[in-house]
């Protein structure tokens, strides 16, 4: 009989308890028999029936005890029924791996022959579940515990582990290890089976051969890696992002790199070579490379960078990538002997050409670029070596510069020397300026190299020159404004002071009273302009305090509504978690008011004004401020309008004093210059973003205040607009008044004299020392100007301290307090009176100093 005609033979199961556990018919027959016996015995007399009853009970007792023992040893099973399926059973019996079915309690219902063979069990040995068969090995405690727990919880799980065959040898090192894969999976009850709880399917498979094959393959790969690592040439692979994916040990040794560090953080091309050479390799595969290299491989002579900063001359064989493949680079070391064999002069020239920081290209007789170095490829983003003759040198510059470059190229191709450099603007989406030098090549036979072009990127240099020129101009204007402000403050102090004297002698009903008030009011307006000049020159006095800008802006919005009018819609969006800043409250208010009024004037027909605040972390500050604002944590205040916007030319001048686009009489041109000065003096930055017809956004960045939690948590500064209550400004004491301006000294002496003080006058610091000695130092307070001929105020104070260490002094100045404070000792105490001042302010400051 052939194998085809042979009947199917099934492997015998090692254990099978899946048949029916009982029959309902037998139970019914047994019940009927007991009923008939009971009826028959009931018809007999007691004496006759008693032996029969005892015999029946004894028989039932024997059967019951037998069933108990049979159930305990597994001969009988009471409970669920498990129906058999011959096809499924045959499939399980012929599986190549062991299979076992049990319940959650560990009882085994079915196991195939492969299971016995895997465990190496005898024919008569009991069949344990896998968790018990392998649980005796202490090295497998964890995986077996996880499998058993999964079986109890009805979850599927798979574990793979290594061990010697159970029961063969106690010495595990004496036999070849075996690998097993055990999985457990719950089998839910089928409908109509009568089974209540789920069963557990265990599968045990030996995967030793698979492991052997894997280890063999791994060993071959490792051998290839070892060979590559120990090859006499360097090798690395690089991805599309110029990051090195693999670098062999030879190259790592040449470059003095640690392979452990490379595995943790893969380096980039720019870490092992110059940026120009890295750009050359990264862009080597761009464009059509057919004909540029044999078999897609290009050759470069360049220098690699070691970790100690030294260079290493090498020859690079670069296989061009295809699609998303990695680029493979072979590095050949070029020692002194090999360099000599290859031609020392050629190698030296190639290295100099590729390592030059200047962009160099060769141009043919038609004006096309025929060869480039790495710096040229990086600057213009082209690779002429891969596409020779396809890029014209003139195409790399802006249209406005092509005619000048064309004439210079013609002169160079004709062999003319001493060609002047051409300042150009490079073509491209971003404006970049540069300078191109041309040099003729004397070899007339080689038409592929007629001119050498050198290109320098001067974009950053031009920007720095423009920025420096603007800074110098602003500094000069600021110094001029500060000097003018000082002189004006002296004159305005006298005007305001003598106006106060006149007002004391005139009642509001007098005809001259209103004229005097007009004089004082216009003097105060002039003082406001002077303060703006001082703000621009950053020479004003600031009283910084910790501010919560959200509360300050909320209070200021009421005033802004009145200033903006009904045609402008104001919206305020302040962040709830805004960081605190440290600034002068009133100066910050002036900044917001100036920005709001400037935005209102840009919207004559009405519009929307939005004020928004937010926190700017260090990462965002790099993007927002560029190179002008150092990275850090800032609070940003944005004032955005929907007005007419500004041109680029206007944007360059908006912070200059007296520059204005408004009609004559509508502005002084000091609004934005004041904003600029206040923000810079506070340590912040201001930027403008504007587009014609779409509006303007002014962004102010103030540094976050992070010192002292107690100061940060203090109450936010509020707007104090309540009028001051009148005070008694009279007093007693001897004052030494030092002022070089006669009008100011006359007003101050008269004002203090009328308040009850004895005033000693001096026009210079030296004269003040003489007056102080004449009165034997009996002076209660010194009121001195700061800027004076012969001896300034700080020097006078130092001289007075030597004569009287406890002398008190008030400095008067039109400059900021910080402008002269640096000339004093660190812990020096003094009062300060900002010019211009009126009679009341002078008297109040003097009395406060004497009382303190």
pLDDT band at 474 (very low <50, low <70, confident <90, very high): low
Share of the chain above pLDDT 90, in %: 3
The alpha carbon dihedral of 188, 191, 197, 199 has a sign of negative
Please report, in angstroms and rounded to a whole number, the separation of the first and last CA atoms in the chain: 128
**Residue 711: what pLDDT?**
41
> Mean pLDDT throughout 629-655?
82
Q: Is residue 109 pLDDT above 60, yes or no?
A: yes
3-state secondary structure 778-843: CCCEEEEECCCCCCCHHHHHHHHHHHCCCCCEEEEECCCHHHHHCCCCCCCCCEEEECCCCHHHHH
Q: Is residue 840 pLDDT above 60, yes or no?
A: yes
pLDDT band at 363 (very low <50, low <70, confident <90, very high): confident
**Lowest mean pLDDT across 152-161, 220-229, 515-524:** 220-229
C-alpha triplet 715, 721, 726: angle, nearest 5° = 110
Beta strands in 71-174 (DSSP E): 98-102, 108-111, 157-163
**Residue 290: what pLDDT?**
38
Choose between 275 and 185: higher pLDDT.
185
Separation in Å, CA 651 to CA 532, 596, 622, 693: 20, 17, 22, 14
**Residue 822: what pLDDT?**
63
Q: Is residue 700 pLDDT above 80, yes or no?
A: yes
**Residue 295: what pLDDT?**
53
Supply 407's token pair. 């004439």
Choose between 810 and 661: higher pLDDT.
810
**Are the beta carbons of 725 and 656 closer than 8 angstroms?**
no
> Mean pLDDT throughout 132-148?
79
pLDDT band at 347 (very low <50, low <70, confident <90, very high): low
Separation in Å, CA 309 to CA 118, 255, 271, 305: 62, 10, 11, 6
pLDDT in tens, 763-784: 888 888 988 888 887 889 999 9
Count other C-beta atoms under 10 Å from residue 513's C-beta: 15
Q: Is residue 674 pLDDT above 80, yes or no?
A: no
Non-local CB neighbours of 308 within 8 Å, separated by 6+ positions: 256
pLDDT band at 389 (very low <50, low <70, confident <90, very high): low
What span, in angstroms and rounded, lies between the C-alpha atoms of 815 and 575?
36
Q: Is residue 851 pLDDT above 80, yes or no?
A: yes
Instruction: Select the highest-mean-pLDDT range: 236-240, 283-287, 471-475, 737-741.
Output: 737-741
Give, for 844, the enclosing helix (H) or strand (E). helix 839-851
The alpha carbon dihedral of 66, 72, 74, 78 has a sign of positive
Q: Is residue 52 pLDDT above 80, yes or no?
A: no
> Mean pLDDT throughout 235-239?
82
**Dihedral of the CA atoms 240, 242, 246, 248 (nearest 10)?**
140
Choose between 192 and 146: higher pLDDT.
146
pLDDT band at 703 (very low <50, low <70, confident <90, very high): very high
Q: What are phi and psi of 613, to 5 degrees?
A: -130, 150
Q: Is residue 98 pLDDT above 70, yes or no?
A: yes
Count other C-beta atoms under 10 Å from residue 611's C-beta: 21
Instruction: Select the highest-mean-pLDDT range: 42-46, 140-144, 697-701.
Output: 697-701
**Are the beta carbons of 602 and 657 closer than 8 angstroms?**
no
> Mean pLDDT throughout 596-605?
84
The count of C-alpha atoms lying within 13 angstroms of the C-alpha of 305, restricted to the half-sphere facing its C-beta, is 15
- Preceding peptide of 449 cis, ω within 30°: no
**Lowest mean pLDDT across 460-464, 631-635, 847-851:** 460-464
Residue with tokens 């396809």: 390
**Residue 10: what pLDDT?**
36
What span, in angstroms and rounded, lies between the C-alpha atoms of 654 and 649?
9
> Mean pLDDT throughout 554-564?
83
What span, in angstroms and rounded, lies between the C-alpha atoms of 136 and 144?
10
**Are the beta carbons of 131 and 236 closer than 8 angstroms?**
no
What span, in angstroms and rounded, lies between the C-alpha atoms of 145 and 631?
55
What span, in angstroms and rounded, lies between the C-alpha atoms of 791 and 783?
15
What span, in angstroms and rounded, lies between the C-alpha atoms of 583 and 589?
10
Instruction: Select the highest-mean-pLDDT range: 63-72, 79-88, 249-258.
Output: 249-258
353-391: string of b/e by CB count within 10 Å (b at 16+)? Answer: bbbbeebbbbbbeebbbbbbbbbbbbbbebbbbbbbeeb
Whole-prediction pTM: 0.39
Instruction: Find residue 182's DSSP bridge partners.
Output: 159, 204
**Residue 188: what pLDDT?**
76
Q: Across all residues in the chain, what is the average pLDDT?
A: 75
> Mean pLDDT throughout 745-759?
88
Share of the chain above pLDDT 70, in %: 75
pLDDT band at 719 (very low <50, low <70, confident <90, very high): very low
Q: Is residue 408 pLDDT above 70, yes or no?
A: yes
Q: Is residue 247 pLDDT above 50, yes or no?
A: yes
Non-local CB neighbours of 835 within 8 Å, separated by 6+ positions: 489, 490, 492, 493, 744, 812, 813, 814
**Residue 320: what pLDDT?**
67
**Residue 478: what pLDDT?**
62
Q: Is residue 717 pLDDT above 80, yes or no?
A: no
> Mean pLDDT throughout 688-712?
77
**Residue 482: what pLDDT?**
63
pLDDT band at 532 (very low <50, low <70, confident <90, very high): low
């Amino acid at each position: 009989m052939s194998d085809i005609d042979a009947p199917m033979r099934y492997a015998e199961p090692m254990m099978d308890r899946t048949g029916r556990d009982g029959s309902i018919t037998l139970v019914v027959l047994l019940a009927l028999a007991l009923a008939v016996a009971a009826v028959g015995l009931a018809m007999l007399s007691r004496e006759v029936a008693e032996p029969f009853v005892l015999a029946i009970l004894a028989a039932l007792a024997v059967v019951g005890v037998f069933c108990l023992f049979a159930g305990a040893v597994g001969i009988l099973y009471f409970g669920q029924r498990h129906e058999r399926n011959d096809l499924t059973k045959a499939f399980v019996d012929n599986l190549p791996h062991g299979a076992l079915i049990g319940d959650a309690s560990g009882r085994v219902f079915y196991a195939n022959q492969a299971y016995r063979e895997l465990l190496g069990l005898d024919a008569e040995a009991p069949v344990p579940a896998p968790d018990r068969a392998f649980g005796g090995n202490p090295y497998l405690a964890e995986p077996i515990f996880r499998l058993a727990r999964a079986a109890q919880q009805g979850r599927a799980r798979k574990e793979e582990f290594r061990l010697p065959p159970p029961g063969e040898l106690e010495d595990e090192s004496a036999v070849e290890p075996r690998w097993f894969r055990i999985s457990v999976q719950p089998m839910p009850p089928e409908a109509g089976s009568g089974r209540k709880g789920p069963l557990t399917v265990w599968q045990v498979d030996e995967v030793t051969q698979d492991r052997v094959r894997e280890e063999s393959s791994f060993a071959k790969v490792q051998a290839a890696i070892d060979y590559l690592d120990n090859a006499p040439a360097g090798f690395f692979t690089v991805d599309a992002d110029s990051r090195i994916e693999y670098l062999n040990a030879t190259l790592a040794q040449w470059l003095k790199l640690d392979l452990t560090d490379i595995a943790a953080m893969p380096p980039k091309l720019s870490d092992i070579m110059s940026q120009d050479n890295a750009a050359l390799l990264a862009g080597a595969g761009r464009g059509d490379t057919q004909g540029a290299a044999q078999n897609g491989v290009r050759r470069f002579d360049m220098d690699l960078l070691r970790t100690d900063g030294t260079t290493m001359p090498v020859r690079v064989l670069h296989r061009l990538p295809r699609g998303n493949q990695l680029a493979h680079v072979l590095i050949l070391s070029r020692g002194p002997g090999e360099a000599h064999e290859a031609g020392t002069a050629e190698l030296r020239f190639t290295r100099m050409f590729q390592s030059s920081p200047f962009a160099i290209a060769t141009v043919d007789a038609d004006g096309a670029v025929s060869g480039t170095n790495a710096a040229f490829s990086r600057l213009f983003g082209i690779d002429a070596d891969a596409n020779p003759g396809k890029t014209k040198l003139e195409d790399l510059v802006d249209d406005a510069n092509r005619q000048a470059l064309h004439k210079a190229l013609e002169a160079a191709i004709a062999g003319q020397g001493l060609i002047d450099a051409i300042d150009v603007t490079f073509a491209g989406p971003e404006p970049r300026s540069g300078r191109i030098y041309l040099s003729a090549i004397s070899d007339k036979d080689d038409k592929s190299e007629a001119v050498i072009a050198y290109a320098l990127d001067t974009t950053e240099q031009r920007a720095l020159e423009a920025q420096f020129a603007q800074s110098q101009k602003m500094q000069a204007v600021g110094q001029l404004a500060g000097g003018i402000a000082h002189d004006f403050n002296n004159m305005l102090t006298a005007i305001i002071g003598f106006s106060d004297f006149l007002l004391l002698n005139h009642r509001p009903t007098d005809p001259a009273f209103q004229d005097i008030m007009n004089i004082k009011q216009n003097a105060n307006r002039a003082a406001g302009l002077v303060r703006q000049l001082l703000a621009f020159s950053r020479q004003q006095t600031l009283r910084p305090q910790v501010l919560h800008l959200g509360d300050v802006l909320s209070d200021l919005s009421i005033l802004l509504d009145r200033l903006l009018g009904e045609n402008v819609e104001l919206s305020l969006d302040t962040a709830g978690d805004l960081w605190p800043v440290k600034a002068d409250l009133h100066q910050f208010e002036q900044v917001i008011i100036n920005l709001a009024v400037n935005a209102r004037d840009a919207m004559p027909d009405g519009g929307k004004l939005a004020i928004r605040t937010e926190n700017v972390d260090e990462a965002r500050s790099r993007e927002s401020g560029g190179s002008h604002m150092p990275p850090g944590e800032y609070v940003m205040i944005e004032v955005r309008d929907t007005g007419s916007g500004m041109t680029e030319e206007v944007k360059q001048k908006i912070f200059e004093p007296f520059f204005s686009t408004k009609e004559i009489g509508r502005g002084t041109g000091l609004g934005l210059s004041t904003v600029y000065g206040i923000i810079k003096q506070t340590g912040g930055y201001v930027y403008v973003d504007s587009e014609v017809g779409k509006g303007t956004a002014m962004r102010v960045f103030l540094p976050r205040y992070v010192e002292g939690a107690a100061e940060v948590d203090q109450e936010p500064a509020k707007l104090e607009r309540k009028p001051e209550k009148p005070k008694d400004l009279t007093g007693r004491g001897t004052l030494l008044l030092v002022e070089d301006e006669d009008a100011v000294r006359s007003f101050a002496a008269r004002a203090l004299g009328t308040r009850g003080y004895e005033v000693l006058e001096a026009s210079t610091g030296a004269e003040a020392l003489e007056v102080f000695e004449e009165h034997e130092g009996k002076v209660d307070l010194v009121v001195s100007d700061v800027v004076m001929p012969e001896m300034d105020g700080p020097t006078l104070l130092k001289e007075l301290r030597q004569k009287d260490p406890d002398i008190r002094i008030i400095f008067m100045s039109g400059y900021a307090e910080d402008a002269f404070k640096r000339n004093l000792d660190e812990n020096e105490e003094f009062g300060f009176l900002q010019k211009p001042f009126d009679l009341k302010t002078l008297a109040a400051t003097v009395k406060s100093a004497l009382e303190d």
